[in-house]
Structure 1
Amino acid sequence: MKSKSFVRIIIIGLALITGISTLWAQQRTTQKPGANTNKSKTVAVLPRLLDLGSVSCIPCKAMKPELAALEKEYTGRLVVQFVDVWKNPSVGKKYGIKAIPTQIFFNEKGEEVFRHTGFYSKDDMVKAFRDNGVRLEKAR
């Protein structure tokens, strides 16, 4: 009985840490240090791709190497984030997603410019940014 309670406490603690770190990472990538939290004054430094999925869904697993390749090719030029919406349902709700994986594309100002649901290749993601007015340059 005591071991079950201990395991539950550990699981809840890990869930809280994951949630807090996800929120912290989102704020860091969309705001300059010391920026006002008022949404109208939020300033993004880099374009951002937010992939909302799950570590256990098959198309989401197929996206993992595509996202890694995108992140590597555009290091310092693009922020690539993954959020497991089964572990963090509030994030999925915040963005109103209906299916996973869903990729949300943000420009340098933090504005959503495009959204896609389902598997998306690295080349298609780069094209989506460019087609929606976001200029991406490869890392040097």
Structure 2
Amino acid sequence: MRIGWLAALALMAVSVALAGCGREAPVPPSPGVALVANATASGLPTIAEFGAAACASCREMKIVLDSVARKTAGKAHVLVIDISKDYEAAQAFRIQLMPTQVFFDAKGKEIGRHMGKLTEAEIMARLGFSS
């Protein structure tokens, strides 16, 4: 069956109107942004470190963070986000230097940042634990 040009034009106008009515599919957050959102919603203090595997200081911090994660298991979240693989997370958290640690309290509120390396004791203290 053939549709007349006027009917085809009307169908096109309706589909354009529906497409432009602001009902675009939501874009899911990047993996790093979602990870931080889930951790900060859990009711536990959180440290999120933004770095990259190619960064020597970040690799050194990974060892420290792994130790902190073991000592605070079940009591805090320790996240490592590779911004070379998740640039959207770097943008969302306004990361300008690697490594950057962002600290959140148990209510999910950002309570501090640090750029560069930290000791295990400094991280534990910022999370509210003694080392």
TM score, norm. by length of structure 1 = 0.66
Structure 1 unaligned regions, length at least 5:
1-18, 32-43, 130-134
Match of 2:99 in 1: 101
Q: 1:28 Cα deviation (Å)?
A: 2.6
Residue in 2 aligned with 1:38?
Answer: none
Structure 1 position 136 matched with structure 2 position 112: no
Between Structure 1 and Structure 2, which shows a larger proportion of helix residues? 1
Q: 2:37 aligned to 13, 27, 32, which one? A: 27
Aligned to 1:89: 87
Amino acid at match of 2:112: F
CA contact (8 A) 2:100 2:113 kept: yes
1:97 deviation in Å?
1.2
Aligned length: 102
2:36/2:48 contact within 8 Å kept = no
Deviations 1:50-69 (A, max 9, x none): 00000110000001110000
Q: Over aligned residues, Cα RMSD in angstroms?
A: 1.8
Look up the SS of the partner of 2:103 in the other structure: strand
Give the match for residue 125 of structure 2: 127
**Superposition deviation, residue 137 in structure 1:** 6.8
Task: Give the TM-score of the pair, scaled to structure 2.
Answer: 0.70
Larger radius of gyration: 2
**In structure 1, what is the Cα distance between the partners aligned to 2:118 and 2:130?**
19
Give deviations 1:19-61, integer Å, cap 9, x for gaps. 54x4443333233xxxxxxxxxxxx410000000001100000
Which residue of 54, 70, 80 corresponds with 1:56?
Answer: 54
Matches of 1:27 and 1:75 in 2, distance apart? 18
Could you list the runs of 5+ residues in structure 2 that have no partner in the other structure? 1-29
Tell me the percent identity.
25
Q: Deviations over 1:64-95 (max 9, x none)?
A: 11000000011101100010111101101111
Whether contact under 8 Å (1:52, 1:101) holds in the other structure is yes
